[in-house]
């Protein structure tokens, strides 16, 4: 199926007129921006590099006729989420896609405490703080939704990717906990558990997709399934039926053992 068929239209009346996408300069975040813009929803694009975001924004302005705003923020830094909050006070936000993150494989003992804190800030704490602020805004207007981007294996543990898995596990628990809580305010929240997807992250993780038993999904399919999940007010979305089946049937101990063997190839060991 071509990427053009993996496109979900979002209701601007329910999720607009503005959406925020963090991690919007590449990969899954950039595809979220593309599909949301195609629905006529204006975008706040967030990532570390303003120049890359301007390129994305201008492309989407030309292709979809939307307005955009760029916010350069490094969400691995404590307090960086405040710049997003401050620079969107004048906008009517109806959708937050919290997709910022980075693959940082390695033996847990090889990292310094400062590195671990930055990982946790980027992949856990920043998502929580943005969700808290914008869910308050959504509750006041009785509409809106948040999508939190997590990772396959975060609940069971990912050897040689332990701290990022722990941060993403926090995101999973947060989304599950808030799903019923926010529903009382007319506010949605969905967690996207990203299964193997054709993004630059696979190479950054030091992995080779060619021998994988299941071909990675296209980024367009991953994003389309996530957006459909938001529309349907689903609590969790895991793209790919086979991955959902495997996740339900395979014991966590077996998953951890398989993951450990795969991750060793991209890991720095501590002697």
Reported confidence tier of residue 5, pLDDT bands at 50, 70, 90: confident
Secondary structure class of 28 (helix, strand, coil) = helix
Share of the chain above pLDDT 70, in %: 81
Strand partners, 46: 22, 71
Among residues 87, 99, 78, which one has the least CA distance to residue 32? 99
Say whether pTM exceeds 0.85. yes
Got the DSSP string for 105-148?
---GGGS-HHHHHHHHIIIIIHHHHHHHHHHHHHHHHT--EEEE
Residues 221-237, mean pLDDT to the nearest whole number: 96
Could you give the CA distance from residue 177 to residue 151 in angstroms, rounded to a whole number? 17
Q: Quick: pLDDT tens for 191-207.
A: 999 988 776 555 555 55
Split at pLDDT 50, 70, 90, the class of 269 is very low
Q: Which of 9-13, 151-155, 166-170 is predicted with the least confidence, judged by mean pLDDT?
A: 151-155
H or E stretch covering 2: none
pLDDT single digits (tens) 243-268: 766 666 666 666 655 665 666 665 55
What span, in angstroms and rounded, lies between the C-alpha atoms of 93 and 17? 7
Instruction: Tokens 């946790």: give the residue.
Output: 120
Strand 68-72 to 42-47 pairing: parallel
- Running DSSP on this structure, what letter comes out for residue 170? H
pLDDT band at residue 2 using 50, 70 and 90 as cut-offs = very low
**Average pLDDT value over all residues in the chain:** 87
Phi, psi of 269 (to 5 degrees): -95, 155
Q: Determine the Cα angle at 19 with ends 46 and 168, to 5°.
A: 60
The pLDDT value recorded for residue 83 is 97
Strand 145-151: give its sheet, edge to edge: 68-72, 42-47, 18-22, 93-98, 145-151, 188-194, 236-237
Q: Write down the pLDDT at residue 112.
A: 97
Q: Where are the domains of the chain?
A: 3-266
Tens of pLDDT, residues 64-92: 999 999 999 999 999 999 999 999 999 99
* Contact by Cβ (8 Å): 134, 15: no
Is CATH 3.30.9.10 correct for 3-266?
A: no
């Amino acid at each position: 199926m071509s990427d053009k068929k993996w496109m979900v239209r979002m209701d601007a009346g329910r999720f607009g007129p503005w959406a925020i996408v963090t991690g919007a300069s590449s990969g899954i975040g950039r595809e979220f921006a593309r599909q949301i813009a195609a629905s006529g929803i204006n975008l706040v694009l967030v990532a570390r590099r303003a120049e890359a975001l301007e390129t994305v924004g201008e492309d989407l302005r030309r292709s979809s006729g939307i307005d955009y705003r760029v916010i350069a923020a490094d969400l691995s830094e404590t307090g960086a989420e405040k710049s997003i909050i401050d620079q969107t006070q004048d906008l009517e936000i109806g959708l937050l896609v919290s997709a910022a993150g980075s693959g940082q494989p390695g033996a847990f003992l090889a990292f310094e405490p400062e590195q671990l804190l930055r990982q946790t800030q980027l992949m856990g704490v920043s998502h929580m703080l943005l969700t808290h602020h914008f869910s308050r805004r959504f509750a006041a207007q009785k509409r809106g939704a948040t999508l939190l981007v997590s990772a396959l294996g975060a609940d069971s543990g990912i050897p040689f990717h332990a701290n990022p898995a722990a941060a993403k596990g926090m995101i999973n628990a947060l989304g599950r906990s808030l799903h019923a809580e926010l529903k009382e305010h007319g506010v949605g929240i969905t967690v996207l558990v990203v299964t193997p997807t054709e993004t630059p992250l696979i190479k950054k993780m030091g992995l080779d997709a060619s021998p994988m038993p299941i071909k990675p999904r296209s980024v367009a399919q991953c994003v389309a399934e996530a957006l459909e999940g938001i529309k349907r007010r689903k609590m969790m979305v895991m793209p790919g039926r086979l991955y959902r089946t495997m996740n339900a049937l395979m014991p966590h101990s077996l998953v951890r053992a398989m993951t450990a063997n795969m991750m060793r190839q991209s890991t720095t060991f501590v002697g």
